[in-house]
Chains A and B, each alone.
Chain A
Amino acid sequence: MRITATVNGEPRQADDVWEGESLLYVLRERLGLPGSKNACEQGECGSCTVYLDGVPVCACLVAAGQAQGREVVTVEGLGSRDALDPVQQAFVDAGAVQCGFCTPGLVVAAHDLLARNTRPSDPEIREALAGNLCRCTGYEAILAAVRLAADRNAEVAP
Chain B
Amino acid sequence: MTSPAGIRTESTADGRIGDSPLRPDGTAKVTGEFAYASDLWHDDMCWGVTLRSPHPHARIRALDPGPALAVPGVYAVLTADDVPGRNAVGLEHADQPVLADGVVRYQGEPVAIVAADHPETARRAADRIVVDYEPLPAVTDARQALDPSSPQVHPGGNVVRHLKIRKGAGELSAPVVVSLDFAVGMQDQAFLGPESGLAVPDGAGGVDLYVATQWLHVDQRQICQALDLPPEQVRLTLAGVGGAFGGREDLSMHVHACLLAMHTGKPVKMVYNREESFFGHVHRHPATMRYEFGAEPDGRLVYGRAEILFDGGAYASSTAAVVGNGGTMGLGPYRFPTVHVDCWGLYTNNPPCGAMRGFGCVQAAYAHEAVMDELADRLGLDRVAIRAPNGMREGDENITGQLIDSAAPVAELIERVRDLPLPPEPGQARDLRNLPGGVANTTHGEGVVRGVGYAVTYKNVGFSEGFDDYSTARVRLEVVAGEPVATVHTAAAEVGQGLVTVEQQIARTELGVERVTVHPKDTQVGSSGSTSASRQTYVTGGAVKAACEAVRALVLARAAALLEVPAAALRLEHAKIVDAGGEVLTSLADLLGDDAVEQTVEWRHRPTHPVDPETGQGNAHVQYAFSAHRAVVDVDVELGLVKVVALDTAQDVGKALNPAAVIGQIQGGSVQGMGLALMEEVVVTDGRIRNPSFTDYLIPTILDTPPMQIQVLEYPDPHAPYGVRGVGEPPTISSGPAVAAAIRQACGRPLRRVPIRPEHITGVR
Contacts and interface: CB of A to CB of B under 8 A. Distances in A.
Interface of A: 18, 20-21, 28-29, 32-42, 44-45, 47, 74-76, 79-81, 84, 88-89, 91-93, 95, 97-104, 107, 123, 125-127, 129-143
A136 to B, nearest CB: 5
A92 B705 contact: no
A88 B702 CA distance: 19
27 contacts: A35-B32, A39-B194, A40-B273, A40-B694, A41-B274, A76-B31, A84-B27, A91-B26, A92-B27, A92-B30, A95-B23, A95-B660, A97-B23, A98-B497, A99-B192, A102-B192, A126-B433, A126-B703, A127-B703, A130-B703, A132-B702, A133-B192, A134-B192, A135-B668, A137-B667, A139-B671, A140-B708
A37 B38 CA distance: 9
Given A29-B41, A35-B31, A101-B36, A136 B668 contact: yes
A81 B33 contact: yes
User: How extensive is the interface on chain B, given as a class?
Assistant: 35 or more
Given A42-B695, A126-B703, A138-B668, A35 B33 contact: yes
A42 B274 contact: yes
Contact of A101 (B243, B668, B708): B243
B243 A28 contact: no
Contacts of B242: 37, 39, 99-101
Q: Binding site of A, secondary structure by majority: helix, strand, loop or mixed?
A: loop
Of B190, B240, B668, B670, chain A has the most CB atoms within 10 Å of the CB of B668
A74 B32 contact: yes
Interface string B472-498: 000000000000000000000001111
| Interface-centre pick from B29, B120, B701 (highest chain A CB count, 10 A) | B29
A33 B1 CA distance: 10
Nearest to A105: B192
Contacts of B672: 135
A73 to B, nearest CB: 12
A92 to B, nearest CB: 4
B433 A127 contact: yes
Nearest to A41: B273
A99 B33 contact: no
Contacts of B36: 34, 37, 101
B247 to A, nearest CB: 10
Contact of B192 (A39, A123, A129): A39
A137 B23 contact: no
B133 interface: no
B39 interface: yes
A137 to B, nearest CB: 5
A92 B194 contact: no
B34 interface: yes
A58 to B, nearest CB: 12
Given A88-B30, A95-B22, A100-B240, 20 more contacts: A18-B118, A35-B32, A37-B193, A39-B194, A44-B693, A45-B192, A75-B30, A88-B27, A95-B660, A98-B668, A99-B242, A99-B243, A99-B495, A101-B243, A123-B431, A123-B434, A132-B701, A134-B192, A135-B191, A137-B668
Given A42-B274, A92-B26, A97-B30, A136 B243 contact: yes
Interface in B1-48: 1-2, 20, 22-23, 25-36, 38-39, 41
B201 to A, nearest CB: 21
Nearest to B190: A135
A38 B693 contact: no
B661 A34 contact: no
B122 to A, nearest CB: 12
A76 B191 contact: no
A139 B705 contact: yes
Contacts of B27: 81, 84, 88, 92
A45 B701 CA distance: 9
B22 A93 contact: yes
Interface string B308-320: 0000000000000
B303 interface: no
Interface string B482-516: 00000000000001111000000000000000000
A5 B741 CA distance: 54
Given A35-B33, A40-B694, A41-B273, A100 B25 contact: yes
A123 B700 CA distance: 16
B699 A135 contact: yes
Contacts, number: 188
A39 B694 CA distance: 10
Interface of B: 1-2, 20, 22-23, 25-36, 38-39, 41, 118, 120, 189-194, 240-245, 271, 273-274, 431, 433-434, 439, 495-498, 660-661, 663-664, 667-672, 693-695, 699-703, 705, 707-708
Contacts of B241: 99
Given A39-B274, A81-B31, A138 B708 contact: yes
B436 to A, nearest CB: 15
Top-7 shortest CB links A-B:
A35-B32, A99-B496, A101-B242, A100-B29, A138-B667, A44-B694, A34-B39
Contacts of B194: 38-39
Contact of A34 (B32, B120, B664, B702): B32
Nearest to B189: A135
Contacts of B192: 37, 39-40, 45, 47, 99, 101-102, 133-135
Contacts of B20: 95
A84 B495 CA distance: 24
Nearest to B121: A18
Nearest to A98: B496
A76 B32 contact: yes
Given A38-B271, A99-B242, A84 B38 contact: no
Contacts of B189: 135
Contacts of B667: 137-141
Contacts of A131: 701
A127 to B, nearest CB: 6
Nearest to A137: B668
A32 B705 contact: no
A79 B31 contact: yes
B664 A139 contact: no
Among A39, A42, A88, chain B packs the most CB atoms within 10 A around the CB of A39
Contacts of B245: 135
B177 to A, nearest CB: 38
Contacts of A81: 27-28, 31, 33
A117 B382 CA distance: 46
Given A29-B41, A40-B274, A99-B193, A88 B31 contact: yes
Contacts of A42: 274, 693-695
Contacts of B244: 99
B668 A103 contact: no
Contacts of A130: 701-703
